[in-house]
A and B are shown apart, each in its own frame.
Chain A
């Protein structure tokens, strides 16, 4: 196999993030992780091409945030970012889907959800449905890409991983389990190119109808004890350890004890196979 034929065309969808405390524009964390994943892929598979894609308005604030991604590409093949220019409040999905359909990358990497706007995490799903491509969420690593099939590691809760094989072209979304992004270098970020394509806007009418407000603190759930007698209510409120329901094996041999434990572990399916 010739190594130069191994390369894949990767498009990373990037958005403008929001700093959780100051609210200022920045690289979105998940998108930066997605780019880090793509850069790692490029190192291992020479001949890969990475494109960055963003749809949204062009202003000073968003531009500096977007250049943050380009600053991560110093010393790699990453050179420019395609900006599909749309006014604020326009629906990004048709524009992105159209662009991807014509650019035909093999792998599209997105963050799981945006840090601004609706932030519903629907975008990768909508693109997958539009393009008819398979989608894998919660990506942790790309193990290899061979003969148009990618082998991926998907992050499960509790630090577990699942290996999947996906036919390309495919869309994958990353969240906090993907590798942490590298620093962004200022100079290359300044010098990099933004390729701007102005687009006719399709307004997102539904979004405009919704009432948005800064998040309220959610009420804490109270422990309500429904019992007729004050004694039960008091006992439940003051209870230290809830007991009585468990099974206690006393006076058994250690073999029998081990058997009982093994049975429970097997039922719960926590033993490695």
Chain B
């Protein structure tokens, strides 16, 4: 049933009359109904400042003049709105292709990849009459795929129109020859106008240089800016870093470019189709003269904290330090600590994470008994996944964490260690 608006002149009058004995209770009711503005008897808009606003988390009344008057819920709904505000773009018949080979660290598009895709979009969308399509070539050998992060959705939002997913055992690990053969096939079939790769040690720096030489191009490396230039053959000019970062080289944008992080703004206003593509011919088997024997176990304690991939960090909540060290060993994690743990002498100074310690970049940061003071959170800004174990469900570390477990640290760590050891024991028996 629709709610009909009925005016009650008597109540309105009480609401206006601050000296009326029922004034407060009527106002309270009106506050619920959000009647804070009405047309007065003489045609003038009347406002009741007491009926607007809401009680903030600290018990103080807050007035929000932006129009969204929901306090806590506002973020959720506005987030939704931001998602929906993306314009959907479909490019049916592209005039040309811009091929991107993202590095996909851990099976996800990295920040560097997204910047690169932003650059690709600039190249593709330069002429609205004849738009190009961005083609991403990905080698789907990554583990993280099963986790559901690698969705068409994420690709589309990063600005990918066509997606070529190449999957084969030959691309696993360090396989530059097999990947090069695949990219040469893409070149032969689809002939993209531009090839863009990230100039990053793990991803495109190696593959991109190989590709360029195979295609007989002289690539631009360390590109950090492009501008349109009508005199250039490709219509673009680029600025690239050279000579150990001490030179800026300005040249025409060649067909193959290796770009640095932050070379362009990532796509954030449009959503693209990420339509799957496949090759019509088979990729020829490349004779491999390089054999990957797999990663070597390195002593995690010897890895510098700033570049460790997996950090187990302990704070004031850790009581059983022997158990903590044992857990780090079993999990193969590099140890970190909050300042309190360091000040109390449980950990060495060089293990401190945070504003006055080390800024870490771990992919997984497991924080045990750390409250998440701002100085500590600053240090873990660029961590991918944060896991917290803490007794206090209200602490700031829980707000930052992707997964939080509320409970006694020592018990949970012990259970985790037991599970990992049990599994490893099982594997050894099976082997």
Contacts and interface: CB of A to CB of B under 8 A. Distances in A.
Interface string A12-44: 000000101000000000000000000000000
Contact of A120 (B242, B363, B419): B242
A230 B419 CA distance: 49
A271 B295 contact: no
B400 A242 contact: yes
A252 B219 contact: no
B213 A265 contact: no
Contacts of B385: 264, 268
A83 B298 CA distance: 40
The residue in A210, A213, A259 that gathers the most chain B C-beta atoms within 10 A of its C-beta is: A210
B146 interface: yes
Interface stretch (A55-63, A162-170, A179-187, A194-202): A162-170
A138 B247 CA distance: 23
A3 interface: no
A255 interface: yes
Interface in B219-277: 219-222, 224, 241-251, 262, 268-269
Contacts of B297: 272
B389 A159 contact: no
Nearest to B243: A119
A117 interface: yes
Given A122-B219, A162-B296, A216 B407 contact: no
A229 B244 CA distance: 44
Nearest to A132: B289
Contact of B405 (A154, A167, A249, A265): A249
Contacts of A215: 241, 245-248
A164 B250 contact: no
B390 to A, nearest CB: 10
Contacts of A129: 210, 213-214
Contacts of A210: 249-251
Given A166-B289, A227-B78, A261 B403 contact: yes
Nearest to B294: A163
Contact of A262 (B66, B67, B372, B419): B419
B415 interface: yes
A162 B173 contact: yes
A260 B242 contact: no
Contact of A20 (B213, B242, B244): B244
A129 B219 CA distance: 14
Given A120-B222, A249-B405, A254-B407, 19 more contacts: A114-B244, A121-B221, A125-B210, A134-B289, A151-B293, A159-B303, A160-B298, A160-B309, A211-B251, A212-B250, A218-B224, A226-B82, A241-B396, A248-B398, A248-B406, A249-B406, A264-B385, A270-B310, A272-B297
Give the 8 A-B residue pairs with the shortest CB-CB distance, closest first. Answer: A243-B399, A257-B405, A258-B415, A231-B66, A159-B303, A270-B310, A272-B332, A119-B243
9 contacts: A151-B293, A230-B66, A240-B396, A244-B75, A249-B404, A252-B407, A257-B412, A261-B405, A268-B364
A118 B291 contact: no
A88 interface: no
Given A248-B404, A262-B419, A268-B364, A120 B221 contact: yes
Nearest to A161: B296
Contact of A265 (B64, B364, B401): B364
B45 interface: no
The residue in A114, A175, A240, A254 that gathers the most chain B C-beta atoms within 10 A of its C-beta is: A254
A149 B292 CA distance: 13
B68 interface: yes
Interface of A is mostly: mixed
Contacts of A138: 201, 206
A235 B75 contact: yes
A237 interface: no
B343 interface: no
A258 B219 CA distance: 49
B289 A264 contact: no
A264 B387 contact: yes
Interface of B: 64, 66-68, 74-76, 78, 82, 106, 143-144, 146-147, 173-174, 176-177, 201-202, 205-206, 209-210, 212-214, 218-222, 224, 241-251, 262, 268-269, 289-298, 302-304, 307-310, 331-333, 363-364, 366, 372, 374, 377, 384-387, 389, 393, 396, 398-408, 411-412, 414-416, 418-420
Nearest to B81: A228
A158 B307 CA distance: 5
A147 interface: no
A229 B202 contact: no
A210 B241 CA distance: 12
Contact of B309 (A20, A118, A259, A270): A270
A164 B292 CA distance: 5
Contact of A206 (B218, B250, B303): B218
The residue in A135, A241, A242 that gathers the most chain B C-beta atoms within 10 A of its C-beta is: A241
A162 B308 contact: no
Given A18-B244, A125-B209, A241 B377 contact: yes
Given A114-B243, A164-B291, A254 B411 contact: yes
A160 to B, nearest CB: 6
A156 B105 CA distance: 12
Contacts of A158: 303, 307-309
A229 B66 contact: yes
Nearest to A262: B419
Contact of A259 (B242, B401, B419): B419
A254 B415 contact: yes
Contact of B419 (A159, A212, A258): A258
Nearest to A272: B332
